[in-house]
């Protein structure tokens, strides 16, 4: 078990970029995301001394709170994080302001504009602003229009707009939303957030691939036989039934987080480590991706929904029994799909993506399975020799494992698989930042590298359009299979992949 | 050769007219472009070596302030021709004194202030002021001015422009007349930096003028005598002035490499049992080594006990909180091909004794090249658990390091550096008492 004590020689060595003076305006400040992710991330940035003294955080929502009420509510919600750092919180809370705003009311936005001008003066933030739309996706378009109308997005160098997922419900709505947002702000001002890209381990895929010579030559169809990308959660729908019923696993996870992982895994090396160069490559790979059989999309996807499960001491409800869920709901809580990337590098290599709720483990991983050796010279200690695998663990126990064959000890010449491990904990001993810490800082620093561009979002939706159309028009062709809570999805998912003589990795 | 910043030759104007000219320039230009909203950078740019070599006719002019490979080659040949030791640094006073002998009073084309590496120009300094002291002692002040618009390879809506001012003359005329216009040239709402790109021993009155001016300072303590450098650091630190030292910046790879070794939690206990630290430096300018040892002692919570000089070796003792003593030494080595920066760290050995059994102890060796690692391995170190790493030398130019500071720092003194200065001063004062 690695020590959690910090490396004393490491203290103060990290030279993080300091955020320039500005005001961060959070719309939807009374919502979950604000107190669960955004304010904790900003407090963490403050503890890391990355927040300048000329700074302000303006919470906006319909509720008629005052600055002090907002500060108090955040303090209560963040009590665990604040514990032991009360003095720091007191200083940090001086940055917090609140303005009651209904984005649908133009006079509210005008009032907000006046308030921001006042805060500019008291906090010396020079009119530099980042607007964070943490509101219902239904209000993205009208929110952008309201900000534009109030002139708050006029200066492309001084104003930025962060938009949460989901960005649209399908290809056409995403395209329409992009058009509206781009009519209100320049693309360089728009930061479409996907918090998976803020994870250290997702970024590490880029470093692993492009900072080492050993991986890139074998990172292609000549050596890799298949790729599996898994993101599993142990939790059920919890208190998000309202949102989840209308989104499901495809819209909630597959189209964004999973597809971004696919893009990072499959993209070509960018010419330079610059935002546009990276986003160009990601967009290209997504544009080259397609369902394994677009003419028969029902053959390249399995949907599932969790049923009851657990054990006697901890019985778990099925999805349809959850509060707020329609008792006849056909929303999928599990989805597995097979994708091909139609380019020179990946032609013929299947990418299997799966995600689900109430699976046995919370994890995210990418598994690259290499081709079998042409001739098996050695007998294996197990039935069949296992192909080499590189497993990139996104969470938890972040790191990588390489599986390969070695000689089994003894007088014979039998082979057996072993694992070579890299663990962030064991190598660095320090927890990595939450994705939001990195992404909030990047947005405020005007660094769009880890944000999705309009063409990426559209390409990701386009990829799943045949499935979405099928789900909307002929759902019986894509049935929902039931699976017991805390199992690895419906048995049909195993059959789906075993047709290709491949098995889901059991992490 | 660094890129030339201005496409046009700067305009020579009487020094009294510079400020007015610039004010008019920005008013008469495009109303929407009032210049980059960035910072002012003043550069003290003596380039003595280049000036001497050009004056002596050993290299062709014009003078640019750029330490080109040709200048380095010619200067090294001069060292050998004059019978100076091959270990003589290009920044040594001995070399400069020899070069300054029998110089003519002739003026040469001088383009200092017009050439900057793109790492600096892409930061769009709003105003670049170069103070270019001449080796000719009777050179009255001349001032030049020009606007510039660096072309970016990324899409920009509009070039962001700045201006540059060159104040050239002998040190006395710069001091008497040149400094008078600095006040007028300051842009109040923008941060201002001074890069003292010369020895801290020279022109103390001009340096002092700037330190009183509230600028963010960039100095290089590899240039100038250790006494003077530490005295300056002490004064600036006591006055809470923002200091950035390129000699400290060049230690970055050493700090990072050492920290990296102890990132795996399984290695952390080694730090609690360190008994010896040896640092090898190139030449006898010990400030960088003092910074390194001070940083380590600060981070590991050691107190300085005593220091003594043993011939060329400097021996230092620290005490751990539990009363254990740590012995450190700074060992100057003569190198045949010395760095242009004096006293750069070339090797570090750290011994941690956890037991009486030698093989259970640990020896950490960092060397600037594998030969240095092998040198530090001598004396039975291989009997211990050996952790070795080659620390690549910093090949970045001073301008690149300066651009990093300009681009990333708020200009305040790094807390790590501030603490290291205090301990380095304790050690250095102990040596002189």
Q: Express each pLDDT in A414-458 by its tens digit.
A: 888 899 999 888 888 877 778 899 999 999 999 999 999 999 999
- Name beta bridge partners: B280: B331, B347
pLDDT given for residue B7 in this prediction? 61
Interchain proximity B256–A13, CB inside 8 Å: yes
CA distance B157 to B66: 32
DSSP string, A131-195: EEE-S-GGGHHHHHHHHHHTTTT--TTTEEEEEPSP--SSHHHHHHHHHHHHHHS-GGGEEE--G
Give, in order, the Cα–Cα distances in Å from B158 to each of B37, B151, B152. Answer: 13, 10, 10
Whole-number Cα distances in Å, B229 to A4, B199, B247, B433: 40, 9, 11, 18
Positive/negative CA dihedral, B118, B208, B93, B430: negative
Q: What is the least distance, in Å, from the CA of B273 to any CA of chain A?
A: 14
- Cα(A209)–Cα(A200) distance, rounded to whole angstroms? 14
Residues contacting A78, CB < 8 A, separation 6+:
A35, A39, A40, A43, A89
Residue B188 has pLDDT above 80, yes or no: no
Q: Pick the residue with more confidence: B188 or A248? A: A248
Closest to B71 (Cα-Cα) out of B87, B49, B91: B49
d(CA B377, CA B395): 25
B73/B49 Cα distance (integer angstroms): 12
Q: Residue A78 has what pLDDT?
A: 93
| Burial class of B22 by CB neighbour count within 10 A (0 to 12, 13 to 18, 19+) | buried
Q: How far is CA A136 from CA A175, A190, A194, B368, in A?
A: 18, 17, 16, 56
Token output for B301:
């919570």
Work out whether strand A22-27 and strand A55-61 pair parallel, antiparallel, or are unpaired.
parallel
Question: What is Dmax (Cα atoms) for chain B?
Answer: 79
Per the CB < 8 A criterion, the answer to whether B387 and B262 are in contact is no
Q: How many CA atoms lie within 13 A of A79 on its CB side?
A: 4
Is A48:A431 a contact under the CB 8 Å cutoff? no
Q: How confident is the model at residue A200 (pLDDT cuts 50, 70, 90)?
A: confident
Min Cα–Cα distance to chain B from A20, Å: 10
Partner-chain residue, chosen from B264, B299, B408, that has the shortest CB–CB distance to A8: B299
A18 close contact with B: CB closer than 8 A: yes
**Positive/negative CA dihedral, B391, B397, B398, B399:** negative
With CA atoms as reference, report the closest residue to A165 among A239, A254, A279. Answer: A254
List CB contacts of A207: < 8 A, sequence separation 6 or more. none
Q: pLDDT class for A182, splitting at 50, 70, 90? A: very high
pLDDT mean over B101-123: 81
| Residues A167 and A174 sit within 8 Å (Cβ to Cβ) | yes
Dig out the tokens for B429 from the structure: 């004062």
d(CA B203, CA B171): 7
DSSP structure class, residue B152? P
CB spacing of B414 vs A13 below 8 angstroms: no
> For A20-47, how does the pLDDT look when each residue is reduced to its tens digit (9 = 90+)?
889 999 999 999 899 999 999 999 999 8
Say how far apart CA B352 and CA B261 lie, in whole Å: 13
Residue ranges per domain, chain A?
A: 22-164, 197-498
Question: Domain residues of chain B, as ranges?
Answer: 11-247, 252-390
Q: What are phi and psi of B64, to 5 degrees?
A: -120, -15
To test the contact with chain B by mutation, choose from A3, A4, A5, A7 the residue with the greatest count of B C-beta atoms within 10 A, namely: A7
- Spatial separation of the C-alpha atoms in residues B364 and B352, rounded to whole Å: 8
- For B113-126, give one letter per residue: b (16+ CB within 10 A) or e: bbbbbbbbbbbbbb
Q: Which of A267-281, B161-175, B269-283 has the lowest mean pLDDT?
A: B161-175
Structure tokens at A413: 């010449």
Q: Is the pLDDT of residue B118 over 70?
A: yes
Least confident of A110-119, A356-365, B311-320, B371-380: B371-380
Q: Is the pLDDT of residue A140 over 80?
A: yes
Mean pLDDT for chain A?
91
Query: Dihedral through CA B379, CA B383, CA B385, CA B390, nearest 10?
Result: 40
Put simply, whether A411 touches B (Cβ < 8 Å) is: no
CB pairs under 8 A between A and B: 54
Confidence check: pLDDT of B142 > 50: yes
CATH class, B252-390 region: alpha beta
**Alpha-carbon distances of B258 from A370, B268, B354, rounded to whole Å:** 37, 12, 19
Residue A103 confidence (pLDDT) above 80: yes
Q: Which residues of B touch A17 (CB under 8 A)?
A: 408
Supply the pLDDT for residue B30.
56
Given a contact cutoff of 8 angstroms between Cβ atoms, the answer to whether B206 and B171 are in contact is yes
Span B41-68, average pLDDT? 88
The helix (H) or strand (E) run that includes residue B307 is strand B303-310
Closest partner residue to A15 (CB to CB) among B299, B300, B408 is B408
Confidence of residue B92 (pLDDT cuts 50, 70, 90): confident
Q: Which residues of B touch A (CB under 8 A)?
A: 255-256, 258-259, 262-266, 268, 271, 296, 299-301, 408, 410, 414-416
Question: Are residues A17 and B408, on separate chains, in Cβ contact within 8 Å?
Answer: yes
Contacts of A428 in chain B (CB under 8 A): 263-264
Angle between helices A86-93 and A39-47 (to 10 degrees): 110
For the segment B319-341, the average pLDDT, to the nearest whole number, is 88
Q: How confident is the model at residue A3 (pLDDT cuts 50, 70, 90)?
A: very low
> Taking the domain A197-498, which CATH number applies?
3.30.360.10
Q: DSSP secondary-structure letter at B153? A: S
Residues of chain B with C-beta less than 8 angstroms from the C-beta of A3 = 265-266, 268
| Strand runs labelled E in A203-279 | 224-232
Report domain A22-164's class: alpha beta
Query: What confidence category does residue B1 fall into, taking pLDDT thresholds of 50, 70 and 90?
Result: low
CA distance A107 to A116: 14
Q: How far does Cα A37 stand from its chain's mean position?
A: 13
Would you state the pLDDT for residue A14? 74
Assigned token pair, A328: 């006849």
Residues in chain B: 433
CA distance between the termini of chain B: 46
* pLDDT tens, residue by residue, B360-385: 899 999 988 877 778 888 777 778 88
Q: Which helix (H) or strand (E) holds B184?
A: helix B179-185
Contact A7 B259 (CB under 8 A): yes
Placement of tokens 């989901």 in the chain: A166
- A257 assigned to active site: yes
Is the predicted pLDDT of residue A254 greater than 60, yes or no?
yes
- Identify whether the C-beta of residue A506 lies closer than 8 Å to the C-beta of residue A493: no
Q: State how far the Cα of B195 lies from the Cα of B202, in Å rounded to an integer.
A: 14
- Please give the model's pTM, rounded to 2 decimal places: 0.81
Answer for the pair A389, A403: CB distance below 8 angstroms, yes or no.
Answer: yes
- Tell whether A49 is within 8 A of chain B (Cβ): no
Q: For A150-169, what is the mean pLDDT?
A: 91
pLDDT in tens, A260-269: 999 999 999 9
Give me the pLDDT at residue B4, please: 61
- Helix ranges (H only) for B250-397 are 252-261, 268-271, 287-299, 370-377
Residue A126, SS3? Answer: coil
Q: Where are the alpha helices (DSSP H) in A288-423?
A: none
Is the pLDDT reported for residue A321 higher than 50? Answer: yes
Interface test with B, best of A4, A13, A441 (most B CBs within 10 A): A13
d(CA B172, CA B170): 5
Tallying the residues shown for chain A, one arrives at 507
């Amino acid at each position: 078990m690695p020590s959690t004590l910090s490396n004393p020689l490491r203290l103060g060595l990290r030279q993080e970029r300091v955020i320039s003076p500005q005001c961060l305006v959070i719309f939807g400040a009374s919502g979950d995301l604000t107190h669960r992710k955004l304010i904790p991330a900003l407090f963490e940035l403050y503890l890391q001394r990355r927040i300048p003294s000329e700074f302000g955080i303006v919470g906006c929502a319909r509720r008629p709170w005052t600055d002090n009420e907002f500060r108090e509510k955040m303090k209560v919600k963040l009590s665990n994080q604040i514990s032991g750092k009360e003095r720091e919180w007191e200083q940090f809370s001086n940055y917090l302001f609140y303005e009651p705003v209904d984005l649908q009311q133009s006079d509210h936005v005008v009032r907000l504009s006046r308030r921001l001008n006042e805060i500019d003066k008291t906090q010396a933030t020079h009119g530099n602003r980042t607007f964070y739309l943490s509101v219902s996706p239904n209000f993205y378009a009208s929110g952008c229009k309201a900000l534009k109308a109030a002139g708050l997005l006029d200066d492309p160098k001084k104003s930025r707009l962060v938009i949460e997922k989901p960005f649209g419900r399908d290809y056409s709505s995403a395209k329409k939303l992009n058009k509206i947002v781009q009519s209100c702000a320049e693309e360089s001002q728009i930061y479409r957030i996907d918090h998976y890209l803020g994870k250290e381990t997702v970024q590490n895929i880029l470093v692993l691939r492009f900072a080492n010579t050993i991986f890139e030559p074998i990172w292609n169809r000549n050596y890799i036989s298949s790729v599996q990308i898994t993101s599993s959660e142990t939790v059920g729908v919890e208190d998000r039934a309202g949102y989840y019923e209308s989104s499901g696993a495809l819209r909630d996870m597959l189209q964004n987080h999973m597809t971004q992982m696919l893009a990072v895994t499959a993209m070509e090396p960018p010419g330079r480590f610059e935002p546009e160069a990276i986003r160009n490559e990601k967009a290209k790979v997504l544009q080259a991706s397609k369902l394994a059989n677009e003419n028969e999309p029902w053959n390249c996807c399995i949907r599932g929904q969790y049923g009851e499960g657990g054990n006697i001491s901890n019985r778990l409800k099925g999805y349809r029994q959850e509060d707020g869920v329609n008792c006849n709901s056909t929303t999928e809580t599990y989805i597995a799909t097979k994708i091909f990337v139609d380019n020179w590098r990946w032609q013929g290599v299947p990418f299997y993506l799966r995600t689900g709720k109430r699976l046995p483990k919370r994890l995210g991983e990418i598994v690259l399975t290499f081709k079998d050796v042409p001739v098996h010279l050695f007998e294996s200690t197990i039935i069949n020799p296992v192909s080499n695998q590189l497993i990139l663990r996104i969470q938890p126990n972040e790191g990588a494992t390489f599986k390969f064959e070695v000689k089994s000890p003894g007088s014979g010449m039998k082979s057996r698989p072993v694992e070579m491990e890299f663990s962030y904990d064991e190598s660095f001993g320090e927890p990595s930042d939450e994705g939001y810490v990195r992404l909030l800082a990047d947005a405020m620093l005007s660094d769009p590298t880890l944000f999705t561009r309009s063409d990426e979002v559209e390409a990701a939706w386009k990829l799943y359009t045949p499935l979405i159309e099928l789900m909307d028009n002929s759902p019986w062709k894509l049935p929902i299979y039931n699976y017991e809570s805390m199992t690895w999805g419906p048995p049909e998912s195993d059959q789906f992949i075993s047709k290709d003589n491949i098995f889901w990795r059991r992490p | 050769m660094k890129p030339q910043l201005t496409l046009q030759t700067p305009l020579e104007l009487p020094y009294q007219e510079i400020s007015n000219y610039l004010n008019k320039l920005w008013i008469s230009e495009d109303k929407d472009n009032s210049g980059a909203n960035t910072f002012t950078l003043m550069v003290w740019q003596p380039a003595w070596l280049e000036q001497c070599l050009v004056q002596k006719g050993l290299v062709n002019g014009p003078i640019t302030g750029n330490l080109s490979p040709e200048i380095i080659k010619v200067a090294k040949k001069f060292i050998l021709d004059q019978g100076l030791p091959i270990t003589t640094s290009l920044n040594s006073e001995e070399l400069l004194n020899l070069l300054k002998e029998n110089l003519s009073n002739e003026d040469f084309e001088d383009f200092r202030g017009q050439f900057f590496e793109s790492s600096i120009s892409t930061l769009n300094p709003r105003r670049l002021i170069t103070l270019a002291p001449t080796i000719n002692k009777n050179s009255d002040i001349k001032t030049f001015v020009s606007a510039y618009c660096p072309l970016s390879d990324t899409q920009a809506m509009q070039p962001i422009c700045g201006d540059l001012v060159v104040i050239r003359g002998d040190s006395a005329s710069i001091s008497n007349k040149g400094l008078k216009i600095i006040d007028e040239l300051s842009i109040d709402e923008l941060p201002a930096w001074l890069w003292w790109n010369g020895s801290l021993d020279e022109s103390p009155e001009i340096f002092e003028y700037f330190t009183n001016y509230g600028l963010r300072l960039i100095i290089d303590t590899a240039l100038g005598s250790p006494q003077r450098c530490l005295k300056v650091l002490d004064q600036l630190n006591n006055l809470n002035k923002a200091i950035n030292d390129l000699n400290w910046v060049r230690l970055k790879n050493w700090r990072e490499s050492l920290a990296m070794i102890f990132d795996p939690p399984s290695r952390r206990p080694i730090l609690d049992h360190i008994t010896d630290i040896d640092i090898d430096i190139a030449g006898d300018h010990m400030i960088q080594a003092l910074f390194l040892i001070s940083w380590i002692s600060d981070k590991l919570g050691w107190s300085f006990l005593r220091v003594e000089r043993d011939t060329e070796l400097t021996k230092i003792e620290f005490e751990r909180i539990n009363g254990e003593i740590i012995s450190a030494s700074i060992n100057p080595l003569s190198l045949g091909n010395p760095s242009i920066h004096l006293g750069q760290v070339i090797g570090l050995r750290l011994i941690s004794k956890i037991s009486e059994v030698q093989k259970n102890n640990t020896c950490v060796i960092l060397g600037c090249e594998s030969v240095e690692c092998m040198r530090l391995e001598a004396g039975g170190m291989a009997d211990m658990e050996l952790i070795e790493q080659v620390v690549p030398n910093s090949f970045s130019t001073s301008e690149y390091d300066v651009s990093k500071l300009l681009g990333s720092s708020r200009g305040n003194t790094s807390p790590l550096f501030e603490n290291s200065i205090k301990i380095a001063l304790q050690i250095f004062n102990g040596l002189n008492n």
